[in-house]
Structure 1
Amino acid sequence: MEQQTLGTIILLGGFLLLMFLRVPIAFALGMSSLATIVYLDIPTVVLVHRMINSLNSFTFLAVPCFILAGHLMGEGGISDRLIRFADVLVGRVRGGLAQANIASSSMFGSISGSAVADVASIGSVLIKSMSQRGYRPGYSVSVTISSSIQSILIPPSQNMIYFSLAAGGISVESLFLAGYFPALLLGGSLMVLCWILAIKQGHPKGERYTIKESVKIGLDAGIGLFTVVIIVGGILLGMFTATESAAVASIYALLITVFIYRTMTLCKFVSILNMSVKTLAMVIAILMTSSAFAFLLGVLNVPSALADLILSLSGNVIIALLAINLLMLILGMLMDVGILVLLLTPILLPIAVKLGLDPIHFGMIMMVNLGIGLCTPPSGSSLLLGCAIGKVSMGTTLKEMVPFYIVMLIVLMLVTFVPSISLYLPNLSSNQL
């Protein structure tokens, strides 16, 4: 057996075996990489250098700052204000609370950058409220978890930063801009679906607010939403980079939760720092070991071999893209988004480029795919969390999820086969510079 073939078996087989034995993902990546590099007789210092070098990036500095900003805004009471503001905007239509749920996810996602944080914050309030107003619990959970995918697509999506790092430094600013139209397409499609279901199932309208109440609620929520202006506006105006915007957003989040909302206490702040450090430690461990794993995949020519295999099965680009989408959808059901972004990008991005896709466009395809995975069994974290918050079984929720899955898959196909949805804003921005 050739050395390359056996090395590939050791790397991929060892990783899958360790995962089956429930070894933590970072250790599984590191141990399989170490075993492979020993077999290939490559100096271990090369592996160490690759792991250290993966953190030697200005882009990576945005990760801890966005993690901290997300926790500050999530724990600082912003979600309650966004929910009331969304209810003011869309709550009066039929099924208005479901519409407010989707709109809240759009706004909260532009602050937290995390789908699971979205479900935890928005869901803890709205799933119960929707059930109390006559919505079926499974439907309430379905609306919450499907709309949370927007958080992966809207800046400051942490997973876009991971994609940039794994892809070798693709512009984070361009990725941030590319996510807006896919997110709006998804949110708008879910709103249309909820409106149709509301008419068919007789869902209630929301409460009516006076003009004075609406203005007050809007101003209160606007203070938190100004974080979006800081992140995106600052980048577009050239005031700072995406990494610098993360630091500014963290400071702003701390100031408004302490001095304006007055929801931040010293005890809560210490707890937030503790959560942020734990999250960051996990991210660093996975990023370092996945970098070593990706390096060995390149040494063993796995991406090139997989690309040739996919193209040999069919010379049709459409079928090849459908096969890649299917692969990501299946893997998204089994593993977390961040891990898959770091693992799959070095493998699938070269194939996508070979098929003629822009790397930024492929990044959006990956985000939508893996976002859907968060809502699917057996390991979808948003699905599991939503069911726990709503105190409803997964089986009950999955019955309600069927039309939502259909809409999400339609959006995925549109994002896949209509590149301008993802590339219009990045191209517009680059033309203006």
Structure 2
Amino acid sequence: MAFSRGTQAGFRRRRPRGTLLLCGSLLAVALSCLHLLGTDFVAGFPSPQTARCGLHKVRSLQTSESSSQTLEGIEAEETRIFIRGYDFDTTEAAIREHFAKAGSIVKFKSGGKVKAQLSYSSAAEAKNAESLNGTTIEGSSRPVFVRPFKAKAKISAAIFVGGFATGTAEAALREHFGTAGSIVNFTFLGDRSALVTYSSDEEGKSAVASLQGKSMEGSDRWLDVRVEGDPKVARTIPAKAEVVEKIKKTKKVKERAEVSEKSTKVAVSAIFVGGFASGTAEAALREHFGTAGSVVDFKFLSNNSALVTYSSDEEGKSAVVSFQGKSMKGSNRWLDVRVKGDPKVAALPKENTVAIIGWDRGTTEAAITEHCGKAGSVVAFELFRQKSGALVTFSSSEEAATAVASLNGTTIEGNSRFISVRKDGGSGR
């Protein structure tokens, strides 16, 4: 039966080329399976034995290709090295130029700011590059660490150390980490980190176990010690809190011991001195207080107070007894002299003080004190009203009352004027 061109075109549209190919592929797979099972009913197909031999050849070829790929992978690893430790701003060109001394670099792969992988054209060149371990790339300030790429898998002998104080000497670090084993290589990675390589994996593991989280002698910084390449160990808060609590307890014990020592032994060689006139020279004060003993230290606390330290407690006690309530030569101010830390000596009652005015100009303090001494014991003397009046303190209120009754209207020896003596009311100063 003949079909028109249009009808034939319609059939072609109904059977696309992809469909025909798919059907052919499925038929070929089905026939192959029948041959493998020993059925040979289609002329021209190979016998079962031939098919099986072909299958074995395919499998052998696949195994051979897999082994070849494995060998190539091992060879590729042997041509690679791992480097780290150079400065952050070191360029790829500078790294390539430095490591090109060992051979031809075919690949560069950056692993971060301070580490990278280099691939050489041969394993021998990669092995030769290991000799550059500990050298410094031009323009960099730190030595670079070099190791075979395959060593990255698990080398417990190479230990990362971090957390020590900036400026810690290499000798001090070698001494500290040398307690875990024999160190064959040491490389600074930064100001506070380094790579320590031991002679064996056992020593490296021992270093991690014994030194992780501990501090070096004379430092309070905890060290981060781990196998190079392992993640950082998280520092637990309870451990930190425990250390802080221990420090607080130690501080409290020390403070209690200091307080106990002070309470059992009170040093009286340091004497507080107050009340002298502002501007009094240190030399004059040393001379005055030096009459009680050997002054080993002198320190001004303010314009009219100082700390005087004697060579012994006995001299300090003598100074307090000799100078408390007395005045310096040429001064009418009473001195407050006491052991450092002791409370200020309470002033005498106001009833013991009288006010005196009216003596001739030029009358000395000694003449006034001597005249007032007829009424009792004078323990203090203070001028006021630009030295035209004075406050005289007696040892008792009875003596003060006697002074008012017996000395008012009298004349001091050598004077032409009589004095006025009355109880001190605090006015008119």
The alignment's TM-score, normalised by the length of structure 2, stands at 0.19
Select the structure with the greater relative contact order (CA < 8 A; seq sep ≥ 6). 1
Taking structure 1 as the reference length, the TM-score comes to 0.19
Q: Greater helix share, 1 or 2?
A: 1
